[in-house]
Copies of this chain bind each other. A is one copy, B any other.
Amino acid sequence: MSRQADAPGAFDIDADYKPLRDRVRDELRQRIIDDVYPAGTRLVETEIAAQLGVSRLPVREAIRALESEGFVKTIPRRGAVVVELSAQDVEELFDVREALEVLASQQAATRATKAELRRVRSILTRARKALDAGDHIALGKANEAFHDEILKLSHNTLLQALLEPLQGRLHWLLRQTGDPYDLFEEHSAWFEAIASGSAHLAAERAREHARLNREIVRKLLAERHRQTPSA
């Protein structure tokens, strides 16, 4: 997170130290998002440990972390399983996301600095380019980065801590549903509302965006369900 945040001149040798558990957690999360471990997959500690060349303990702690992030569910004495997001889970995810993103947007409107706004604008530019180039991967990443940045503009660390894992699950969901929708106009309008400094306007845009997004995912899921009725 904050590499050398304070004491700018200080020597900070091996500042990029990260405990094994964190690196394992990141790796496993990525595998879940990338569908290497589809829903229902059992995460067996010994297996993963052997595969990554570490002992069971870091794996164990990583799995616990993923549990608190909502990616896996563990049953006592039975181990961890990658969760399947039910329709209700998705609805709840969007319920909470909407509430928190509206708050983030409001606070961003009143607290964002000019430099921060510039940075977000540059992300939008990146998204535009990816869209024109037809690069779906880059577009998806830019869209994810956009949401992350809006979150930072709120200057509310608790909000960030809560919303980040939720967005992780949403991105997971969106990747499952296929190619990223064209959200460029949406994001632009939302961003301008924040940049205008009006908390009210920013809130309205955030809510609108969240609802549109929810509808898109609903449709995609309904489609997918029609294709694979029972699986």
Contacts and interface: CB of A to CB of B under 8 A. Distances in A.
A158 B17 contact: no
Interface stretch (A40-48, A90-98, A173-181): A90-98
Most buried by B among A19, A60, A103, A107: A103
A96 B92 contact: no
Chain A at the B interface: SS class = helix
A100 B98 CA distance: 10
Interface stretch (A29-37, A61-69, A116-124, A127-135): A61-69
A103 B161 CA distance: 19
B158 A19 contact: no
Interface of A: 17-19, 57, 60-61, 64-65, 68, 70, 76-77, 89, 92-93, 95-96, 99-100, 102-103, 107, 156-159, 161-162
